[in-house]
Chains A and B, each alone.
Chain A
């Protein structure tokens, strides 16, 4: 507050210096920043442009070799082929089979891995069982061991419990591999919640599950959004685990896409390949576009203000 009493009217003040003008937005530094940003954007957008343009050209135009030219005869036929009739090996039902397989893998894997990660993080942050630190360290170590090392042992383990080459099998695999990072995510989020909140709930009579379900979970929306984004994109983009563990009936979209593109009989249908690739990357792309704002907010959310 300004407590100095003002004496005299503003009009009788001595002549004012002219107020400094609003600074121009286009300083050389600004120009440099924009030049860099635009160049970087072009660099990453160019392949996408080529893919889009190629996917709507008929093969006759593609054979002419003008990679960057706009289509002369615009056609959606390659998209239709890619979705419904492209050949993945012997079957020619398009990539839609893979799409639905991926959905069937991603949805339960995401829900399961987040649920388990959240409970793990909650238990590690608030209940602190004996040896929690050691357990957490071991769990985190799992995140740094390359997947390839564990593939063969896991194949043996899954085969022995009759889950190899099945939908539940691949879901279990994704849940296991998602656990370290999900646990870390939720543990750190819950560590930022004041411990007194937990203590108050304990005094109010809450047990392990009630405090988790009624108090902690409703407070976890931002971090759940982050977890969903990470898991959906991660599992959707997975190739090797799907190839090894899912079995031929459940091959995810990424594996099907590879099969379409590597089909060696006859002419390479670049336009169909491009369309199939775009279709495959559509899900992660859409998720980033829709929830980018949430993602940043969740990552940046520190302490929860009561």
Chain B
């Protein structure tokens, strides 16, 4: 049966040709966790995943799986499985032989192979497809087979490399749900790479946001969403993106205030990591759902765009040249060009140092 293993990466460095893709990266994945590596393309997240799988040699550092040093182990000895974006099914074998390939190679007894293939095909509803070739399957079915191939091996750690990116929107949400149920059912450790923030938010028990080979922030999706560690994480997550206002922090007698030319906001209750003691240029970030619109509120802006989304609408306000998005659940009747009052929920703002981009 599947053991549940942790993965521990220390001081990892990966060079591809002359490029250093990852430098001194540490990552701990606890047993049974679903960790999502999220980042824009080219941030090194797939490289990291492939190095855990043993498909890319590391230049320095170590990879431990289940307490064993696997840095130089062969892929097949790492007790991992990897699901690819392009499915990578063996085209000349039918579904059943695709599922059992690994077991046939390591000489598993026939009865055991059959038991495991049956179990996986029941889990993923592949029963009627077992005799088909990959070319006769739809995209969703192919990816199910690829996931089945991972289940059959009863790996300790499941690795996913953007497994849903080739599917259409409807199938993607469907398979996303199935993957989450699969994780709950198997309880296995899973590491999942994606550039889709919705997948990251919905699937992860913890997510790591990466850029340029560096993990920017790691935490539960709620944490990362609510308290982004820096400007990059803040703008990368959320749709529409977090609203940003440039201004400065000023220390007054009554407390800290965030000021721009038009705005003077009390931020004295903001949980500063270190309280700046002088005036400091900074960026205020606020999620669109924390921008309220209503008749008697303090700030004024002109409506420049309304995006109806069915269950809510996004109102874009022109605020002295800056575009501010507001998610309006009440679907207030608002027309283009209207002057509109709004307020920022100062309990849910984020403040960033303008120079370093780091959270204050």
Contact = CB atoms under 8 A, between A and B. Distances in A.
Nearest to A220: B92
Most chain-B CB neighbours within 10 Å: which of A196, A210, A214, A306? A306
Given A205-B105, A205-B106, A197 B76 contact: no
A214 B92 CA distance: 9
B76 A306 contact: no
B152 to A, nearest CB: 10
Interface string A166-202: 0000000000000000000000000000101101111
A163 to B, nearest CB: 38
Contact of A306 (B53, B88, B101, B149): B88
Interface of A: 194, 196-197, 199-206, 210, 214-215, 218-219, 304-306
B7 interface: no
Interface in B28-80: 50, 53-55, 75-76, 80
B137 to A, nearest CB: 9
B84 A200 contact: yes
Contacts of B85: 196
A203 B75 contact: yes
Given A204-B101, A204-B149, A204-B153, A197 B90 contact: yes
Most chain-A CB neighbours within 10 Å: which of B86, B88, B106? B88
B135 interface: yes
A205 B155 CA distance: 12
B86 A202 contact: no
A205 B76 contact: yes
Given A194-B88, A219-B92, A203 B135 contact: no
Interface residues of B, number: 27
B194 interface: no
Contacts of A214: 101
A204 B102 contact: yes
Nearest to A218: B92
A199 B82 contact: yes
A203 B81 contact: yes
Contacts of A306: 86-89, 91, 134-135, 142
Contacts of B92: 215, 218-219
Contacts of B142: 306
Nearest to A197: B88
Contacts of A210: 105
Interface string B126-142: 00000000110000001
A199 B149 contact: no
Given A203-B76, A205-B106, 5 more contacts: A194-B86, A203-B82, A204-B105, A306-B134, A306-B135
Given A199-B55, A205-B76, A219 B91 contact: yes
- Give me the 4 closest cross-chain CB pairs, A-B, nearest first: A205-B76, A204-B102, A200-B88, A218-B92
Contacts of B50: 199
Contact of B91 (A196, A203, A204, A305): A305
Interface in B83-110: 84-92, 101-102, 105-106
